[in-house]
Amino acid sequence: MKRFPSLLMLTMLAAAVLLGGQAIVAQNQSQNQSLPQSDKYAVQIPDGLSISAFRGYEDWAVIAVSQTDELVKAILGNPAMIEAYRTGAPGNGKPFPDGARMAKIMWSRTQDPTQPGGASIAGGLKHIDFMEKDAKRFAASDGWGYAQIDYDEATAKFKPFGTGVDCGAACHKVAASTDYVFTAYGRR
């Protein structure tokens, strides 16, 4: 007789979990439908990389942050990029491995008057740059493919900037000694 109430409780618990999970999925689907119609993952550089190759970049680990007079930047790396940094690349003389990817998210720089000292913080999204290492695919641009994406805040749309996978190659030539990567991995 003790077994019947336990089985009933277990069945009720399983039903509650199942219904709760369905509610969460439905909520996520309705939130995703409210995103702008211009799905950022559909944006592709003409004759170049697509943002879809970097799906999930928003959750990558931080390599470093930087700022200019106008922009606040977060430089992120996928697990292959972070592992290469942790093992000493590029300072150990080894290049970054194929599959290493970076994203640089850039926002307008603004001041936060509520913070002590009026800290500079991220304002509106401006640009996202991407880099992907594939020595064979991008042999003409020293093993790296590049993509530069602009964000138009007024229309909430992403649009490609430039053409081809080598659109960032010229700028990165000066960083040849660090495998064409400007960003150092900050001490943790």
Averaged pLDDT, 14-42: 46
Is residue 120 domain-shared with residue 83, that is, in the same domain?
yes
pLDDT at residue 167 tops 90: no
For residue 153, the domain's CATH number is 3.50.70.20
Q: What is the pLDDT of residue 105?
A: 98
pLDDT in tens, 58-103: 999 999 999 999 999 999 999 999 999 999 999 898 999 999 999 9
Alpha-carbon distance 85 to 62, whole Å?
A: 12
Instruction: Name which residue leads in pLDDT, 4 or 47.
Output: 47
Alpha-carbon distance 133 to 65, whole Å?
A: 21
Instruction: Name which residue leads in pLDDT, 89 or 166.
Output: 89
Averaged pLDDT, 15-40: 42
**Is 184 a domain residue?**
no
Are 134 and 53 in contact by the 8 Å Cβ rule? The answer is no
Q: How many structural domains are present in the chain?
A: 2
Adjacency order of strands within the sheet including 71-77: 61-67, 71-77, 101-111, 120-133, 144-152, 157-161
Q: Which domain covers residue 15, as residue numbers?
A: 1-31
